[in-house]
Amino acid sequence: MEILTQSIKDYLIERFDKSIDEIGYSDILEVESLTIDGKDENNEKQSVSFSDLKLFKNLKYLEIRNTLLTTNLFNTLEDLPYLENLLLRKCTIRKSVSTMNNLKNIIQLRINDCKNFNFELINELNLANLTFENMQIQGFNLLKDNHINVLDISRAKFKNMNGIKKLSIDKLVIKNKDYTKYKKVLDNLKYELIVMADIGYYIKVKLD
């Protein structure tokens, strides 16, 4: 068994207190959470091979940082039966990627500061939680066919709110500054609106 991704090797060595050559399949099957980072602590590039993920059959949570995301990656994620929680942080999605809609097991998805992301990539996914951070959103029309329990856009930026009333969601989380700016648009929604304080993490206003 050979693992090429440096951040995975570092994690396994620390977790199991073994050299990488001593780590076996039984150890790998214990792993339910992983972070893949394309840069080291000095912000230098380090090796990443998405094929390594095929070994982690019991993976439930995956965070990917500082990495180019390819169709090969998403094809690999489709074959992880227990993967439920996916966080993409400071990644670039290759323009040849046409969809993420085959990730049917994902129930929590967070997109943080990723390039080339668009709603068409996920417009058929039904999710318990969808969160956008450090992203600019240009309207919501392409999400109208999804069902999302909680859509958190409290740490995102907006070009406009087009389509916000057509969303099939249970709760929308938004920061107070944006609620004030788009109050007329956000009145009389068919779903619950949660307004977060601009500073801090606490709910400032809750509107039914």
DSSP string, 20-70: GGG--HHHHTT--EEEEESB-TTS-B----GGGGGG-TT--EEEEES-EE-
Query: Is the model's pLDDT at 50 over the cut of 60?
Result: yes
Q: With contact defined as beta carbons under 8 Å apart, do 138 and 160 qualify?
A: yes
Share of the chain above pLDDT 70, in %: 96
What's the Cα-to-Cα distance from 54 to each of 57, 67, 80, rounded to whole Å? 7, 18, 7
Q: What is the pLDDT of residues 158-197, one digit of tens each?
A: 888 899 988 999 999 999 899 989 988 888 888 999 998 8
**Which of these, 112, 68, 122, lies nearest to 94 by C-alpha position?**
68
Task: Give me the mean pLDDT over the 20-43 stretch.
Answer: 96
For 69-119, how does the pLDDT look when each residue is reduced to its tens digit (9 = 90+)?
999 999 999 999 999 999 999 999 999 999 999 999 999 999 999 999 999
Whole-model pTM: value is: 0.92
Contact predicate 89/64, CB 8 Å: yes
116 in the Ramachandran plot: left (φ > 0), alpha (ψ -120 to 50) or beta? Answer: left
**CA 35/CA 174 separation, integer angstroms:** 28
Q: Which residues contact 192 (CB under 8 A, 6 or more apart)?
A: 170, 171, 172, 206, 207, 208
Q: What is the pLDDT of residue 146?
A: 83
For tokens 């000095």, the residue is 42
Q: Please state the rounded mean pLDDT for residues 20-28.
A: 94
Q: Is the pLDDT of residue 124 over 60?
A: yes
Q: Residue 92: what are its φ and ψ, rounded to 5°?
A: -115, 125
Q: Residue 82 has what pLDDT?
A: 97
DSSP annotation of 115: B
